[in-house]
Amino acid sequence: MADRDDVGIKYTKAECDYGPGDWPHECSTCAHFRTFSGGKCQIVTGKILGSDLCKFHVFKTGQEDLEDEDSADLERPRTMYEIMRDPKISSKKKEEINQSYSSWLQKSQKRSLEEKRTEIRATRRRREEE
C-alpha cells in the first residue's frame, strides 16, 4: 500500500499534533512550510502559522544548525514589518532593505512556481503509472 505522502494526501492538524511552536522549532523553519503560498504546508491541511509546530517538523536546508542545543539562545529573526517600523533604522536604510527584500521575494516566488510545476508533473507521472 502506498504511503499517504506518496499519493498527495495531507494530514489534518489533529493527526500531526499541530499547535504553538517554540523558536526555532516552528513551522517557519520547516522544509514543508510554504510562506509564499499564504502560509501553507506540503503535508498538513489548512492555513498554517509560521509560529506553530507539528510532529513532522524538519529543518529547511541551511537551517539544520538551529537544531543544536545552543540554538535556544538565538533570537527569533525580525519580520519585515518589525524592521520597517523600527525608529532606529534610517529611511534610506529601510529603502535599501525594502529593495533587497523585493528582489529576493521575486526570485523566491519564481522558484516556488517552478517547484509547484515540478510537483504537478511528478504527481501526473505517478498517476499514469498506477
Whole-angstrom distance, CA of residue 80 vs CA of residue 97:
9
State the cell numbers at 47. 492555513
Mean per-residue pLDDT, 103-113: 79
Calpha distance 51→15 (Å, rounded): 18
pLDDT band at 12 (very low <50, low <70, confident <90, very high): very high
State pLDDT tens for residues 23-67. Answer: 888 998 888 998 776 788 999 999 999 889 999 999 888 776 776
What's the distance, Cα to Cα, between the start and end of the chain in Å? 12
Q: Categorize the per-residue pLDDT at 16 as very low, low, confident or very high, splitting at 50, 70 and 90.
A: very high
d(CA 60, CA 58): 6
Q: What is the CA radius of gyration of the chain?
A: 18
User: What's the mean pLDDT in 103-121?
Assistant: 81
Percent of the chain scored above 90 by pLDDT?
17
Tally Cβ neighbours within 10 Å of residue 54.
22
Say what the pLDDT of residue 18 is: 94
Helices (H), 1-130: 80-84, 91-129
**CA gap 111, 5 in Å, rounded:** 22
